[in-house]
């Protein structure tokens, strides 16, 4: 083939692949929007009530929204303090030669598939929670939150450790030179400088926790209700993801039931996508994504 033609074909090929790669995300959004349309028009604001009863035509997703928010809040509340302190420890206190070792171990932890976390949750955590709090079942919102906390710990630690480690040494030297103690150097100098990247790390962990399916689905108990009082997380609950995982195959394609499920997926997608894109503004992920 003459060179001119291969040049043209080649250019078109790379352009075409770029359009596909960039188009997938729009395609996904479009599909979810089209197929949740029926639920939106049929149910309207009824979608945000608490009763989910497909045979009666009631599709309120409030319990699922509550569950998603609850497990995410628990996960972040547990993982951020522990993760941040560990990051400080690895970057500032631990001798440098251990740093690479600890970080590779953390990446190993991050590579464990979520279904295996789910299995461990079923086999251990839910039993422990059940015994400690003397419950009928250990499959509770709290169990899901704890499991998620463990799953997002590696992300939070590695990203915030990078952020702290990247602060130039000159700041440390200047701060120590003023006679500050180590904790004062860290809290008054290093953390404020690394603040934006740490915020990005936390947001990214938050997004992961919200979208996580398998582990949560196995341990949360899958009952659609908002506990009373609202902060009592020692009862079974339901998240958007666990609901989708459990029930999507039971709904007929094209029915209002199916459409309402897709609507939940759309809500989840919009929230998580928003969080991810905000996190990206805070943080330079460029090299992290594939390391």
Partner 1 sequence: MSRILKNRLFSGISWISLGICCLILVFLIAVIAWNGIKAINFDFLMSESRHFGASGGIYYQIVGSLLMVLVAALISLPLALGTAVYKSEYLKNSKLQMLSDSLIYGLNGIPSIVFGLFGLIFFVNILNTGISWFVGSVILAFMILPTIVLASYQSINSIPDHYRESALALGMDKWRVITTVLLPQGISGAVTGLLIGLARAVGETAPIMFIATAYSGARYPDSLLEPVAALPTHILALAQQATDPDALQAAWGASFVLICLVTLFSISALFIRKRTQILSER
256-282 helix and 240-247 helix, angle to the nearest 10 degrees: 140
Nearer to partner 1, 69 or 119 (CB): 119
* CA atoms of 259 and 126, how far apart (whole Å): 32
* From 6, 41, 232, 255, residue interacting with partner 1 (rule: CB under 8 A): 6
- Is residue 177 involved in binding partner 1 (CB under 8 A)? no
H-run or E-run covering 184: helix 182-185
| DSSP letter, residue 159 | H
* CA atoms of 276 and 201, how far apart (whole Å): 10
Q: Tell me, residue by residue from 121 to 140, as one string, x for binding to partner 1 by CB under 8 A and - for no binding.
A: -xxx----------------
Binding segment (CB under 8 A) for partner 1, from list 39-47, 59-67, 194-202, 240-248: 240-248
* From 241, 256, 257, 282, residue interacting with partner 1 (rule: CB under 8 A): 241
- DSSP string covering 50-90, please? S-EEGGGTEE--HHHHHHHHHHHHHHHHHHHHHHHHHHHII
Q: Which of residues 218-237 bind partner 1 (CB under 8 A)?
A: 218
* From 16, 48, 128, 133, residue interacting with partner 1 (rule: CB under 8 A): 16
Q: Tell me, residue by residue from 26 to 65, as one string, x for binding to partner 1 by CB under 8 A and - for no binding.
A: -xx--xx--x------------------------------
Residue with tokens 């915020």: 199
- Is residue 289 involved in binding partner 1 (CB under 8 A)? yes
Closest CA to 76 of 152, 162, 184: 152
């Amino acid at each position: 083939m003459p060179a001119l033609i291969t040049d043209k074909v080649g250019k078109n090929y790379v352009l075409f692949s770029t359009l596909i790669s960039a188009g997938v995300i729009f395609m996904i959004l479009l599909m979810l929007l089209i197929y949740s349309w029926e639920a939106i028009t049929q149910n309207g604001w009824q979608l945000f009530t608490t009763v989910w009863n497909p045979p009666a035509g009631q599709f309120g997703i409030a319990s699922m929204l509550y569950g998603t928010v609850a497990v995410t809040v628990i996960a972040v509340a547990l993982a951020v303090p522990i993760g941040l302190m560990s990051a400080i420890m690895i970057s500032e206190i631990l001798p440098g030669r251990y740093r690479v070792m600890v970080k590779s171990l953390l990446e190993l932890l991050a590579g464990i598939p979520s279904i295996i976390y789910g299995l461990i949750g079923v086999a251990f955590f839910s039993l422990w929670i059940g015994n400690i709090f003397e419950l009928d079942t250990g499959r509770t919102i709290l169990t899901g939150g704890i499991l998620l906390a463990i799953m997002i710990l590696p992300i939070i630690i590695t990203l915030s450790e990078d952020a702290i480690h990247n602060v130039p040494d000159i700041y440390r030297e200047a701060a120590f030179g003023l006679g500050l103690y180590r904790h004062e150097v860290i809290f008054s100098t290093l953390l404020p400088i690394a603040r934006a990247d740490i915020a990005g790390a936390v947001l990214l962990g938050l997004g992961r926790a919200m979208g996580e399916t398998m582990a949560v689905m196995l341990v949360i108990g899958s009952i659609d209700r908002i506990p009373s009082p609202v902060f009592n997380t020692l009862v079974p609950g339901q998240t958007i993801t666990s609901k989708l995982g459990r029930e999507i195959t039971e709904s007929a394609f094209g029915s209002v039931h199916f459409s309402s499920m897709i609507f939940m997926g759309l809500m989840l997608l919009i929230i998580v996508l928003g969080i991810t894109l905000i996190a990206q503004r805070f943080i330079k992920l460029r090299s992290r994504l594939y390391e």
